[in-house]
Each structure stands twice: as C-alpha cells, then as structure tokens.
Amino acid sequence: MLKIILQKCQRRAPRFKVVALLLVGVGLPASCIAHNTMTKNLKVLVSSNDFPASGLKVLEEHFTVLQTKYLNFGEEGQTKTKEDLLKLIPGCSALVWSSNLPISKELLDRAGPQLKLVATVSAGYNHCNLDELRARGIKLSNTPNVLSSAVAEIAVGLMLAAARRFTENLEQVRTGEWEIGFDKVLGQDIRGSTVGIVGLGGIGQAVVKRLAGFEVDKFIYTGHREKPEGKALGAEFVTQDELLARSDFIVLAVPLTNETRHMINTDTLAKMKSNAILINIGRGDLVDQEALYDALKNKQIYAAGLDVTTPEPLPKDHKLLTLPNLFVLPHIGSATVRTRSDMAVLAANNVVNALTGKALVTPVNL
Ligand SMILES: O=C(O)C(=O)CO
C-alpha cells in the first residue's frame, strides 16, 4: 500500500514522497497522508475573513487556504475586500464565495484555467454567471437545506413585524410618543388568515411548518407544478393570480431568475387584497421596489416585510425607509451561529469532494 502511495506521490510531486515518509514515521494513516500531501499544494480562496472556524478547519486539513484580511463591511471595507480578493484569486483551485462580488467572466479569467469549483456559501446563486461556469467546465455548489429553518424563522418574524406594525410602534417607543388607547396602532392577525407561499421549496415548506401553531386558516402555494410535499402540509396548489387574489400574507421564497425578476410589480400588486402583507426572503429584485413604494404609500396593500432589497445595503436615505408600513432587515435570513457554521462546513465538504474527484454534496445543475 505504502509503495503505491509513494509511487503516486513521486509521479505527481516528488517532494511529497519525503513528507509522506516522515509522516508515516510519526504514525499517521498512509491514505490520509497521500491524500493530504497531494492536495496541500492546491489553493482555495475563502472570500471573507469571518468565515466560520468549523468550515476553515475542514479546508485547512486538505488545502492551502487563502483568505482576505479585510472585513466586508462599509464602503471602504468592501472596496478593500474586493481589491484583496482580486489579488488572491489567480491560481486558486476553488473559490468559497460569500462575498457580494459577482462571479463574473472577468473574475473567472483572473482565477485561471485550474479553477475547478465555485462553492457559494448561500442557497441563491444569482450572483454567478452560469453560462461562463458551464463553458469553462467549472462546477458550482451551493448550501441549500441547512439554512431553511433559519430563513423561515425570519419570514415568520417579518410577518409578525409587518402585521403588528413594528416600524410605527418602535418609532413611538424611540420618540416617547406612545399612542395609549384601545384602538391605536391596531394590527392584523395571522390567526384565521390565508398564507400564500410563492415557491414551495425547502424554505417555503419550512415557513408552513413554522406557522403550524398560528391557527392559519388556509395555506396556498404557487410554482411550476404541484408538489407532493404540498399535500403533506395541507397546502393547496393554485395559480399565481389566484394566490395574489386570495392571500392575506404573500411570502416570496423563490430564487431570482429571469422569470422571477420583478414578479411583484404594478400589475401583480394591483391583484392583491387591500389588507395583503408582502414578505420577501428571496432576493430584492423579485420586487419592483418603485411599484412597492407606491402601493405602500397609497395603502393599496397593508404592509410589507423585507429581508432582501436592491441594493444591499439599502442607502439610509432611501425612500422605502420613510414608509411606516414597511419593516426592513439587512439580509439576515441565514445569520445564526449554527446555520452559518453548517453552511461553512457544507461548502468546505463540497470543495473537498470537488478537488478529490468525488461527487459534490450539493451541486447546482449547470
Ligand atoms: O443563502 C441565501 O441565498 C440567502 O439569501 C439566505 O438568506
């Protein structure tokens, strides 16, 4: 066995033969040594300096890990991070990507032909140029499922925040001008409502499950096709128009694609009930924000709760932020310690598999 490993190492990189011999001397399993010594010369770039230690540990066991030294925070931080990443990228075999820098043609050119995988640390991959990845034979992985509960919790949080008018109520607390009275700042119930889910994937299903105790009257959903999971959850499959017309809460849980971009626009907002509450946990561009601003301002719909906006960060003087019936979060759907750690480990395992010739754990079909 050892002989075969050493021959392999010799062929690939003679200096690893010496390393392997030394490590056998200290008692490490030969297969692990051969594998690690052969992959240690591969460079993997991690795009953020706050990537969870659990994921880094997996990567560092196998590869040479490069990481930007800047915090991707604020305009200056973002500029420095981008500059740093562009310097580090050439020669990398995999990119572990949690940056808002798009995976573009230019960036892939800069990386070079040895790049095998982009492992995005997100469920969404609309920031990746899929045509370029496909044309170059570069694989793409994402981190679905592990974040479904965390994102669904934020959807439920936004439903409560928008329905119970957290923006106005918080403002009252901050200014000390509380409206004390029996019929002041009344909100809407989730109890007895119809909740419409646009996209009954992992996150959409997790939203329905989390609302189990809220006495929702009816769950309906729309998408490309009826799903067996819908039946199991007691959710009715309807057309998009029917969902818009019937829902008290509309939760957007679909990826951003050419088909879904601006699916919420002047026309679709006009089909909603006047008490409708729109929740977006997908991507900002699912919604035409100008149209949403008008609909909220004119009270054409009741309220909205957004975890995602265009752009991110939303400038602090953006007109959306003047609306009392809008509650906005800074894209924190997956931002829990456990979820981010699970995402990091999943992304790292995808890298290990891609660079050791195994199937990806969570591939994106290109
Ligand atoms: O993982 C993603 O794509 C998210 O946006 C989670 O909020």
Cα 305 to ligand 1 centre (Å): 16
Cα 77 to ligand 1 centre (Å): 21
Q: Give, for ligand 1, the residue of 151, 286, 342 to mutate: max count of ligand atoms closer than 8 Å to Cβ.
A: 151
**pLDDT tens readout for residues 232-244:** 999 999 999 999 9
Main-chain dihedrals φ then ψ at residue 213, nearest 5 degrees? -90, 5
Q: Is the CB of 124 under 6 A from ligand 1?
A: yes
What stretch of H or E contains 210? helix 202-210
Query: Is the pLDDT reported for residue 252 higher than 90?
Result: yes
**pLDDT tens readout for residues 25-59:** 444 444 445 556 679 999 999 999 899 999 999 99
Predicted pLDDT at 5? 43
pLDDT, average across residues 68-96: 89
Indicate the pLDDT class of residue 6, thresholds 50, 70 and 90. Answer: very low
Is 62 one of the annotated active-site residues of the chain?
no
pLDDT, average across residues 10-21: 44
Alpha carbon dihedral 173, 178, 182, 187, in 10-degree steps, equals: -40
Q: Which ipTM was obtained for this model?
A: 0.96
C-alpha 311/C-alpha 340 separation (Å) is 22
**pLDDT tens readout for residues 324-334:** 999 999 999 99
Q: Is the CB of 286 under 6 A from ligand 1?
A: no
Answer positive or negative: Cα dihedral of 39, 80, 289, 171: positive
Q: Is the CB of 147 under 6 A from ligand 1?
A: yes
Query: Is the pLDDT reported for residue 2 higher than 50?
Result: no
Cα 277 to ligand 1 centre (Å): 21
Q: Is the CB of 123 under 6 A from ligand 1?
A: yes
Q: CB-based contacts of 123: which residues, under 8 Å, 6+ apart?
A: 142, 143, 144, 147, 151, 202, 203, 255, 334
